Amino acid sequence: MKKFISEFKEFISKGDVMSMAVGIIIGGAFTSIVNSLVGDVITPLLGIIIGGIDFTGIKVTFGGAELMVGNFIQAVIVFLLTSLVIFWMMKAFNRVFAKKEAEAEVPAEPETAPVPEDIQLLREIRDLLQAGK
């Protein structure tokens, strides 16, 4: 049992698990931002553009059941809008970081290390021997 507990402590304290936890928390916050942008800004603007059409009222009665087709259509539209917003945000995010990476990747002038004295002397001897032939 002690081994199990120590293995669990090791697992839970690893950087990967902590990074995943932070990612999930940030993802939740990001979800609320995207949902607000879609629900509070884009969807009302789209409603103005298309004349205030509300799909949620569309239903089909089949036997004794009501199929809420309009809710499904509305959910698909919200999904597509959310996907579009996330795509735009990621595209902008990638563009900003691509510029920063390109600036950071400018190669610096390679520094030439000073040649050790013994190597320098050997090169001089080699050059003198070649000149004497």
pLDDT of residue 47: 78
Is the pLDDT at 102 greater than 80? The verdict is no
pLDDT in tens, 59-77: 899 888 999 988 888 888 8
The structural architecture, per CATH, of the domain 2-109 is Orthogonal Bundle (1.10)
pLDDT in tens, 6-33: 888 777 777 677 788 888 988 888 888 8
CA–CA distance, 115 with 104 (Å, rounded to integer): 30
Q: How confident is the model over 29-41, as a mean pLDDT?
A: 86
Q: Where are the domains of the chain?
A: 2-109
Helices 15-36 and 69-104, axial angle in degrees (round to 10): 120
pLDDT of residue 133: 63
